[in-house]
Amino acid sequence: MAEPVREELSALGAIFCGPDEWEVLSRSETDGTVFRILTRAEGFMDADIPLQLVFHLPVNYPSCLPGIVVNSEHLTRAECEIVKEKLLEQAETLLSEPMVHELVLWIQQNLRHILKRPEAGGGSEKCTSAASTTVDDGLWMTLLHLDHMRAKTKYVRTVEKWASDLRLTGRLMFMGVPDSSENLQSRCGLKWKEMQREND
């Protein structure tokens, strides 16, 4: 990790020091760093809108744009996507210098103007992107093998809570027991198929 990036991450950790405001989700010498910032921005009628911003700083950042995921329970999926696009447009003007704090300040000051535009008035679907360990939209799968389970019901509830919190889709399977797969869709309101984060 380059020294300017290390300094930027340290500064961000000091700036966003409130409870749950800042969390590093992953660090890798090959994939870069992924972190989450929780902030608020002024929306319609001066109401504060909570925003969850997930940034992926690739290895060659700040020479290239960061990956950005925007999530808010108060915005539609279309509005989240528009906010993301506007943040990326702003990031293009800041290339070659640390930009994350500038982007957060910019969205705090400009969210209300972005949401007032007609293209931001779209659908009723809530934004469901997640703070993920990767900003990649690709499909991925994971397998959790437990040797011993005392209470199946409690185990299923725990896994459903994790899946719901992380906005994962998937299926529970209990090995060695015929017809024992539990579809998380019926229990959590999640789509099934394979384990996948929703990032758009």
Average pLDDT, the chain: 76
Among the ranges given (136-140, 147-151, 161-165, 193-197), the one the predictor scored with the smallest mean pLDDT? 193-197
Q: Is residue 141 part of a domain?
A: no
78 and 162 in a common domain: no
Residue 172 pLDDT: 72
CA 113, distance to chain mean position in Å, is 23
Q: Are residues 20 and 61 in the same domain?
A: yes
Within a domain: residue 94? yes
Q: Which residues contact 79 (CB under 8 A, 6 or more apart)?
A: 72, 115, 120, 122, 127
Look at residue 138 and tell me if it is in a domain. no
Q: Same structural domain for residues 23 and 99?
A: yes
Provide the CATH number for the domain around residue 41.
3.10.110.10
- Residues 156, 110, single domain; the answer is no
Q: What's the domain count of the chain?
A: 2
Average the pLDDT over 8-20 and give the result.
90
- CA-CA-CA-CA torsion for 90, 91, 97, 99, nearest 10 degrees? 90
Name the residue range of residue 15's domain.
Answer: 3-120
Task: Give a yes or no: residue 125 inside a domain.
Answer: no
Q: Does 34 reside within a domain?
A: yes
Q: Does 83 or 123 have the greater pLDDT score?
A: 83
Report d(CA 132, CA 30) in Å as an integer: 17
Query: Looking at the domain assignment, is residue 193 inside a domain?
Result: yes
Please indicate, yes or no, if residue 49 is contained in any of the structural domains.
yes
Which position has the higher pLDDT, 128 or 136? 136
Judge if 185 and 98 occupy the same domain.
no
To the question of pTM greater than 0.75 for the whole model, the response is no
Rounded CA separation 170/160 (Å): 10
Using the 3D structure, point to which of 96, 120, 144 is the last residue of a domain.
120
Based on the fold, state whether residues 110 and 61 are members of the same structural domain.
yes
Same domain? 105 vs 189 = no
